[in-house]
Structure 1
Amino acid sequence: MKNTRKATLEDLEQLSALFDQYRIFYHKESDIPAAENFLKERIQNEDSEIFVVGDNGILTGFVQLYPIFSSTRMQRYWLLNDLYVNENHRGKGYSKELIEAAKDLCRSSNACGMLLETGKSNDVGNRLYPSCGFERYDSVNFYEWTNTMRNR
């Protein structure tokens, strides 16, 4: 994982641009200032763990994980919430490198595992995650409640 490291405030400009691309991919409007503010808060408040990957000082991707807990296992879990590699840099192993950094975080924090969600139509992700050791969990239904007063 020579190209992967934990994000810092010095990465905000490039990281915010990548995060904006990620949000656009998920049909959200571009808003780099809000993205920068959101990421700055996550880093400063240590609300999440963000790892970046790149070449020659240019960031090409990131992964963001949030801590959660399993009551039945009485241990920490990590939610792999965001994984993105710029489309011009895909197919070079950056996603797998970022996932390995996430696995290292799980090991170092003594977490019982990592959870993630991806769309059924995300063909790339649905091939990537099993190839990295993730198992699809079909025995539960996933539900979401959305606060329409706060939905952006």
Structure 2
Amino acid sequence: MKILQANVKHLDQLIPLFNGYRMFYKQPDDPEKAKVFLKDRFEQNDSVIFMAFTSTGKAVGFTQLYPTFSSVSAQKRHILNDLFILKEHRGNGFGEALLTRAKQFVRDENSKGLTLETETNNPAQYLYERLGWKKDEHLFHYSWEV
């Protein structure tokens, strides 16, 4: 297993993973949209993506972090927005390895921490809790869509 920080050279390997992630969340199959979105992230340098590879070099998962800031703590934070492992490779430690690498990146960046949100029925919650993530018991999250 290998975890690497992705760059534009990984785009062709990342597109099917990102497209699969979007389809998991009931979005249409659209590799071109995935390509444009990811290419923009690399070119604008506004997210950090880590990819998981098998020992044979097959890309099997990724996580994507977005920087944000906390006015209250006056510190940078990161949002762990995406975590996806190909179904046939789940349960083999790739998710844990990606989360561990994300935590190390945040430490290296002197960021306050990581935040994520997940659907209530997402089985990955057990992984998050096992790795020390805590549910926010004090805040509700709201969203507004155009």
Where 1:51 maps in the other structure, the secondary structure is: strand
CA deviation string 1:18-38 (max 9, x = no partner): 001000000000100110111
Q: Which residue of 2 aligns with 1:33?
A: 32
Q: Distance in 1 between matches of 2:20 and 2:142?
A: 26
Q: Which amino acid aligns with 2:128?
A: Y
Q: What is the aligned partner in structure 1 of residue 14 from structure 2?
A: 15
RMSD: 0.9
- Counterpart CA distance in 2 for 1:130 and 1:38 is 30
Q: Which residue of 2 aligns with 1:139?
A: 138
In the alignment, which residue of structure 1 is the partner of 2:61? 61
TM superposition outliers: structure 1 runs of 4+ over 2 Å:
none
Distance 2:87 2:143 in 1: 29
| 1:52 CA drift (Å) | 0.2
Shift of 1:44: 1.6
* Counterparts of 2:3 and 2:135, CA distance in 1: 26
Equivalent position of 2:49 in the other structure: 50
Q: Which moved more, 1:7-16 or 1:70-79?
A: 7-16
CA distance in 2, matches of 1:53, 1:32: 19
Q: Distance in 1 between matches of 2:106 and 2:10?
A: 23
1:51-94: per-residue Cα shift (whole Å, max 9, x none)? Answer: 00111221000000000011111100000000000001111100
For 2:60 and 2:34, locate their aligned partners in 1 and report how far apart those are by CA, in whole Å.
16
Total equivalences in the alignment:
145
TM-score, length-scaled by structure 2? 0.96
Q: Where does structure 2 lack aligned partners over 5 or more consecutive residues?
A: none
Question: Which residue of the partner structure matches residue 150 of structure 1?
Answer: none
Distance in structure 2 (CA, Å) of the matches to 1:125 and 1:145: 25
TM-score, reference length from structure 1: 0.93
CA distance in 1, matches of 2:114, 2:59: 24
For 1:129 and 1:74, the matched residues in 2 are separated by: 26
